[in-house]
Amino acid sequence: MVAKKNERQKTTTFKTGDFVVYPTHGVGQVTGIEKETIAGDSLKLVVVTFDNERMTLRVPINKMETSGLRKVSSQKIMDDAVTTLKGRARIKRTMWSRRAQEYEAKINSGDPILIAEVVRDLHRNVGQPDQSFSERQIYEAALERLAGEFAAVERIERDQATEKLEAVLQAA
């Protein structure tokens, strides 16, 4: 009986139409909660669609904690992420391959403040040396992930969110 009660409580945390964050894919929208039988087991699944990746993800309710699926960040956390963007870039003097791994780990953590650190550290202003192809790819992935969550929190389009974040970076 206790397991049923906990399962019911978790399903109420997400409703159809809610924006959620899955660490390795960014912001998606809950399209429903379904029951499905897989390998003889009846499972309740949260169905999340990611429009920008044209992907649908089904997360079993009993795996939500370990999967990292969470609600979109609060306004305060987003404000902290924007403040992070305004900070000074901190680039370690380690080999690029090591830094690239660290940046990827930060992006896949799903934490907006860590993602903002990656965007800040890899952003190049006019007059600065050009980025390598892999630096540019990681920068764009981090900016896209941050802009997706920023757009969901601010209730604006992703393009507008990207422009606002880039304006913050230019002003810093």
Q: Taking 80 as the threshold, does the pLDDT of residue 15 lie above it?
A: yes
Which residues lie across from 42 on neighbouring strands? 37
pLDDT digits (tens, 9 = 90+) for 107-124: 999 999 999 999 999 998
Record the pTM. 0.85
Angle, alpha carbons 128-132-134 (nearest 5°): 135
CATH topology of domain 2-71: Thrombin, subunit H (2.40.10)
How confident is the model at residue 166, as a pLDDT?
Answer: 94
Domain boundaries, the chain: 2-71, 75-171
The structure tokens 């399209």 sit at: 31
* CATH architecture, domain 75-171: Up-down Bundle (1.20)
DSSP secondary structure string for all residues of 60-91: EGGGHHHHT-EEPPPHHHHHHHHHHHHS----
43-97 pLDDT tens trace: 999 999 998 778 999 999 888 888 889 999 999 999 999 999 999 988 888 999 9
